[in-house]
Structure 1
């Protein structure tokens, strides 16, 4: 038996705490390492092209290459995740990212900088990271007991927020000591994540037969399934609008700081406070998911975002701006946990990858459009008018969430009964102060 073919553990009636779930911890750590490495490399690309290559245009090309997979790979990736073995796919993702970052590191150690290689590596690592996120999200229900799914997704969201919080400063600090170090660091995270994946015992998907449909029909099936779900269809439209507005907000914040003679360090401090808010929101989300309906959380988040966006038009102090953005991040992370639990519980196992990819595509697509829209709005109305405008837009989305009949159908879902509960390979033990656990939706 190879390292990739692990036997299924026998299920147990009462699982132990997540901190003793070996396979969950291995998957959680591996995915966290991959996310941290990807954030560091993405932050290092513009530093490399501007400070070493002296090419702002090159920085734009590399940044575009890193984000391009979100638009062109997202939907096919979701369908392939539902076809392929997820453990092998995750391993391939880490190997691809490792090789891409090793190539950039080797090039820089020779004192050279070749734009096509950096752009290709950025695309490969970005595509691998996209596949990784979708596959890990679809696999999580196979390594935790159904009663612990809420807590597990809360910990995953906190991990993602922490990776975003640490990735950029890690890239900047490493770049100070050697321009190759951020990419070597990312290669190392892929290697360590690979080790954790090889140690996971359980299968990461249910039993599957040979595919009898085409990739195109699989993608279409995922789109049709999302469209038939009234609540999810309406929610994804509202969140797409909020993603666009948030992209405009980020441009507005940067311009507000600049107009107040602030420095890039001030923008970094705002991001730091926002990241702390996101981590706190993710940890709170595992408890909110057991007590609040998805509709209430969605409407509440949109309302809070609108209320916190409006003051941006009147303040320029980085501390105050950081607190405002931290509050928004708190609400966003909390909502991500609640929405993630709802989605996984109502989505059939065979469609997990495709459904997640639909939501991710809509989010990334509107964020891209938001960058373009934000530039025009700021040029036409300035920071004051733009901030008030996006607050009003978010308020309209909140109102739509409150009155929409489609969102009222989101009753607490029953778990999809097409997958076997994950087993805990270790004997259950008395739980001691496991604050991450919560009640199931």
Structure 2
């Protein structure tokens, strides 16, 4: 079996974990992903603007977004099984290269085509980017979980959340500025960021996975193997379901803030500040997670985070002042960041390395299915019922899952594996 880079041998005693800041391969992956994530956020911001500019249609931009999300619903389960079969480093290199080619294809599509053919090609690129991103995310998650000791996984997840939160703050502003210079510049920037990640991956020495078995079964058998393991793990199964509902609540939070802003005629500048404050809340939550993980048991910390959710959520039904609205939005974002880091850390720590792709694919299948259906239902509820009834509906679900978490013995006793 290949040597594992997570720990260094000691001449006189047991192996000791290497600090994340001294883990060369982890840092190469983390820094490369940080640059690439910033480029991706530019594309995510600029691509809908490009579609609207070409078509003068919000519906066309919405279709492009849906096509980018569709692979997560259609391909998650087989993608997870394939990621567990294939060499992770090769898959990451191939995905990064393909993402770079697809993003670079957006400017080429504008230069080489026109009319309906141009739009069809952009739609095809949107679907392709979604499909490749699915494989890329699954293999990156599994590789990161392998590179660090189980006791350091919460810190690694928190550091990744810092990247996501920072890109969420900086990416739209950078993408907007680049788009104002020329509409092709955000995509060129993203392609260059993928090139940097590609170079970073080439410098990584480890295989990013344990030695795999040579015998393989039918793809459906391997998918069923992952589902069977998940069904046997009560805590992980509960985490997946709770996480899916809370992510839907976060989507509802964004839509509720937008609805309140429109109803109260709050200026767009203040709306932007409210969203930015939410990003700050995410960053603070990520910074707090390693400290909390050392002091509070997993189940209790998760319960406390959801309890704050339950306390803050009803305020959306009554708040009209921008300052208070921003404070509630930031508080919910902070608790959600803590919740996400704790849940993801536990899941990565307990899932066997050979099943990481399949379990993460089930998570994405459930999450995106819930978001696809739930987002439409939320919009319909806000339009037909109004803000207060929608707040009550979501709050009822939060009460149920929080009560379940505090009453369930397995969730309360769950702790992070340390090795």
TM-score (normalizing by structure 1): 0.86
> For residue 70 of structure 2, what is the aligned residue in structure 1?
68
Q: Which has the higher contact order (CA 8 A, sep 6+)?
A: 1
> For residue 102 of structure 1, what is the aligned residue in structure 2?
104
Shift of 1:109: 4.8
From 167, 170, 181, the equivalent of 1:166 is: 170
Whole-angstrom CA distance in 1 between matches of 2:245 and 2:220: 27
> For residue 431 of structure 1, what is the aligned residue in structure 2?
none
> For residue 301 of structure 1, what is the aligned residue in structure 2?
305
Shift of 1:408: 3.4
> For residue 330 of structure 2, what is the aligned residue in structure 1?
326
* Structure 1 vs Structure 2 CA RMSD: 2.2
Whole-angstrom CA distance in 2 between matches of 1:368 and 1:188: 31
Give the match's secondary structure for 2:210.
coil
Shift of 1:110: 6.0
Q: Bigger shift: 32-41 or 280-289?
A: 32-41
Paired residues for 1:227-376 under 5 Å: 227-376=231-380
Whole-angstrom CA distance in 2 between matches of 1:15 and 1:411: 19
CA contact (8 A) 2:8 2:16 kept: no
From 17, 22, 34, the equivalent of 1:32 is: 34
Give the match's secondary structure for 1:212.
coil
> For residue 144 of structure 2, what is the aligned residue in structure 1?
140
Shift of 1:117: 1.4
Go from structure 1 to structure 2 and tell me whether the alpha carbon gap of 1:141 and 1:50 turns closer, same or farther (over 3 Å shift). closer
> For residue 90 of structure 1, what is the aligned residue in structure 2?
92
Shift of 1:376: 2.1
Are residue 152 (structure 1) and residue 156 (structure 2) matched? yes
Go from structure 1 to structure 2 and tell me whether the alpha carbon gap of 1:15 and 1:226 turns closer, same or farther (over 3 Å shift). closer
Whole-angstrom CA distance in 2 between matches of 1:246 and 1:288: 22
Go from structure 1 to structure 2 and tell me whether the alpha carbon gap of 1:112 and 1:29 turns closer, same or farther (over 3 Å shift). farther
Task: Give a deviation string over 1:216-261, Cα, whole Å, max 9, x none.
Answer: 1111211111111111222222222222233223222111111122
Gapped regions of structure 1 (runs ≥ 5) = 1-5, 416-441
> For residue 83 of structure 2, what is the aligned residue in structure 1?
81
Go from structure 1 to structure 2 and tell me whether the alpha carbon gap of 1:79 and 1:255 turns closer, same or farther (over 3 Å shift). same
Go from structure 1 to structure 2 and tell me whether the alpha carbon gap of 1:54 and 1:380 turns closer, same or farther (over 3 Å shift). closer
Task: Give a deviation string over 1:179-219, Cα, whole Å, max 9, x none.
Answer: 11121121111111111100111110011133421221111
Whole-angstrom CA distance in 1 between matches of 2:208 and 2:360: 16
Task: Give a deviation string over 1:146-189, Cα, whole Å, max 9, x none.
Answer: 44333222212222222223222222222111111121121111
> For residue 223 of structure 2, what is the aligned residue in structure 1?
219
Whole-angstrom CA distance in 2 between matches of 1:244 and 1:262: 25
Are residue 127 (structure 1) and residue 131 (structure 2) matched? yes
Are residue 44 (structure 1) and residue 41 (structure 2) matched? no
CA contact (8 A) 1:86 1:204 kept: yes
CA contact (8 A) 1:286 1:338 kept: no
> For residue 439 of structure 1, what is the aligned residue in structure 2?
none
Whole-angstrom CA distance in 1 between matches of 2:111 and 2:195: 19
Whole-angstrom CA distance in 2 between matches of 1:318 and 1:117: 42
Give the match's secondary structure for 1:289.
helix
CA contact (8 A) 1:306 1:392 kept: no
TM-score (normalizing by structure 2): 0.91
CA contact (8 A) 1:105 1:180 kept: yes
> For residue 430 of structure 1, what is the aligned residue in structure 2?
none
> For residue 425 of structure 1, what is the aligned residue in structure 2?
none
Gapped regions of structure 2 (runs ≥ 5) = 10-14
From 175, 184, 193, the equivalent of 1:189 is: 193
